[in-house]
Structure 1
Amino acid sequence: MANWREVGQALALRVIAGCPQPQALNEAALAPVGFVPQSDLPEGQAYEDFIYAQGLVPTREGLHDFFNALCWMHFPLAKKRLNQLQAREIARAGVGQVRGPVRDAATVFDENALLIQASDALWSALTEHRWADAFLALRHEWSDARLWTFGHAALEKLVQPYKSITVHLWRVPDDVAHEQIDAWLAQDLTADKLATKPFSPLPVLGVPGWWPANETAVFYEDVSVFRPRRLKGAAEKPYANPEMTPSV
């Protein structure tokens, strides 16, 4: 998060001082899009379609859209790719009451993704919800794992953190370097892959070093947060995810 803070702190101070958020973001000139007030979005036009057509992002005051703008600055290629996928689906199927699998998954990713580069052992433990293995037996492996924040709704939640905040993991291969992450992700985000929803939920405050309370093993014994993997066909209460902002 240090690189996000480096850019975001100065922008936040401008906004706090009274500068309209879209203006402050545009002055930074760090994104491949411009930012305009939410009122510039024509009534009846889909949010993602407007961005694709105009190269402008309707932006409300507040943390949610502030973090979205920071993501545009740090992942410009991946954000453009997500927007292209959304716009193509809108052109193909219209807006409608239901987004459809590709738009739905793209929205989940945009709002809630956390990228992870981890060993096979750690990845398996996380995706199989073997939380004691992932966070205790394999705790030493987290020092070699790499995490990239992406989802702006998740970031908004983390401003006032609580135990059940859950992100959606997206695995990054070991051979992808930090400076390649945006270009790699833009290529990896395909409609076919997103339609399969290859996400794995992670109660993010379980990450070692991210929350003081997780220094004790009892933290991970809360099965209302660190749930076992559900059996195929079994009903399960959804994880507590950040609010999804409609792209309509």
Structure 2
Amino acid sequence: MQLLHSHDARQNPAARETTQPGFAAIDWSKPWFAPFAVRGQRWQQAALTSYAALLTAMNADASAMRQTTGRGQRLAFIAQDDLPPGAAYEAHIASTGCVPTRHDLHDFFNGSMWFAFPRIKAALNARQSVAIDVLGVGPTRGDVRDALTLFDENALLFACADPALSAALRGFDWHTLLVAGRAAWGASCEVRCFGHALLEKLMTPFKACTGHAWIVDVPCAYFGWDAAARDAWLDQLVSAALLDTEALTSRMFAPLPVLGIPGWWPENESPAFYDDASVFRAGRRQR
């Protein structure tokens, strides 16, 4: 499995794609963006004004929220050029509270997650900074840091009250999960996008776009709560799991093609959409 190391590209801007869509192209009606639209639209207008205006808007929200990073430092956003030479990105955030931020969509969505799921972001930062303290920054991250990076960049939160649906996701049983179980979506299971690189990819959706689902068992009552209560519950539960699970590995995630989620893409109304074995793979069921 290829892991995402997009923050490494901060030291090599040429390594990043230069033809990405701009801020004006964000369509907040899309189901993967809609949960973040209230704050996102304000930030979008700031980003379209200037880099400085975006940082000002982000820092105003950070000041009002009093959010902290992985070691209890107050959250703030700084220009990418203010990251000291040679400093490790996650370690700098943990020790200072300051998140180096570029004027691009990748870091825009990264900043958004500090407000949508603040405990999860702080937990990821705490675990990353501890791993850096122990192992330093080298050519390889190790299993734990790889898993943390995968979560941060590409995770979906799959909230589910039906064990049969969770088992279908883990077992690559797409028919049960996405066709036969279609009516259960919104009533017994749902997805929240978390990975900021995944959100960036979904600016230009494509059928094979796949997130890595972190399965969260929720009570049936969860689906009667409003969106803010659901997100707060997920934030608390998942952050605790990230801090308490010592042996994190990438195999703890279940791949989920995002455009296959019921209600998220018009073409998946047809069951034939899921017949594409190059996207909806058999996976571990055949191993």
The verdict on a shared fold, with TM-score over 0.5 as the criterion, is yes
Greater displacement, 219-228 / 134-143: 134-143
Pairwise CA distance, 1:198: 0.6
What corresponds to 2:143 in structure 1? 101
Corresponding residue to 1:71 among 110, 113, 119: 113
Question: Secondary structure at the residue paired with 1:194?
Answer: coil
Q: Cα RMSD between the aligned structures?
A: 1.6
Structure 2 residues without counterparts, runs of 5 or longer? 1-32, 69-74, 223-228
Greater displacement, 12-21 / 202-211: 12-21
Q: Distance in 2 between matches of 1:120 and 1:193?
A: 23
Q: Distance in 2 between matches of 1:218 and 1:173?
A: 29
Pairwise CA distance, 1:195: 3.2
Summarize deviations over 1:52-73 as a string: whole Å, max 9, x none: 1110000011110000000001
Pairwise CA distance, 1:81: 0.8
Q: Distance in 1 between matches of 2:283 and 2:35?
A: 34
What corresponds to 2:173 in structure 1? 130
Corresponding residue to 1:10 among 34, 38, 42: 42
Q: Distance in 2 between matches of 1:18 and 1:57?
A: 18
Pairwise CA distance, 1:143: 2.7
Greater displacement, 73-82 / 102-111: 73-82
User: What amino acid does structure 2 have at the position aligned with 1:58?
Assistant: P
Tell me whether 1:164 sits opposite 2:218 in the alignment: no
Summarize deviations over 1:16-71 as a string: whole Å, max 9, x none: 12252322211223443100011111111110011011100000111100000000
Greater displacement, 193-202 / 77-86: 193-202
Corresponding residue to 2:272 among 218, 226, 231: 218
What corresponds to 1:62 in structure 2? 104
Tell me whether 1:25 sits opposite 2:66 in the alignment: no
What corresponds to 1:194 in structure 2? 248
What corresponds to 1:245 in structure 2? none
What corresponds to 2:163 in structure 1? 120
Corresponding residue to 1:149 among 193, 205, 229: 193
Question: Secondary structure at the residue paired with 1:45?
Answer: coil
Identical counterparts, % of pairs: 43
Q: Which structure exhibits the higher relative contact order, with contacts defined as CA atoms closer than 8 Å and separated by 6 or more residues? A: 1
Pairwise CA distance, 1:225: 0.6
User: What amino acid does structure 2 have at the position aligned with 1:102?
Assistant: V
Q: Distance in 2 between matches of 1:206 and 1:170?
A: 16
Q: Distance in 2 between matches of 1:83 and 1:18?
A: 28
Summarize deviations over 1:137-185 as a string: whole Å, max 9, x none: 1111113112222111111111111111100111112236613221211
Structure 1 residues without counterparts, runs of 5 or longer? 233-248
User: What amino acid does structure 2 have at the position aligned with 1:130?
Assistant: D
Q: Distance in 2 between matches of 1:58 and 1:18?
A: 16
Q: Distance in 2 between matches of 1:189 and 1:77?
A: 10
Q: Distance in 2 between matches of 1:121 and 1:81?
A: 29
| TM-score normalised per structure 2 | 0.77
Summarize deviations over 1:83-108 as a string: whole Å, max 9, x none: 01000000001111000111110000
Q: Is the 2:150–2:250 Cα contact (8 Å) retained in structure 1?
A: no
What corresponds to 1:180 in structure 2? 233
Question: Secondary structure at the residue paired with 2:113?
Answer: helix
Corresponding residue to 1:41 among 59, 66, 83: 83
Q: Distance in 2 between matches of 1:229 and 1:181?
A: 27
User: What amino acid does structure 2 have at the position aligned with 1:2?
Assistant: A
Q: Distance in 2 between matches of 1:35 and 1:217?
A: 45
Summarize deviations over 1:102-132 as a string: whole Å, max 9, x none: 1110000001111112211111111111112
Question: Secondary structure at the residue paired with 2:213?
Answer: strand
| TM-score normalised per structure 1 | 0.88
Q: Distance in 2 between matches of 1:22 and 1:104?
A: 29
Pairwise CA distance, 1:193: 4.5
Pairwise CA distance, 1:14: 1.2
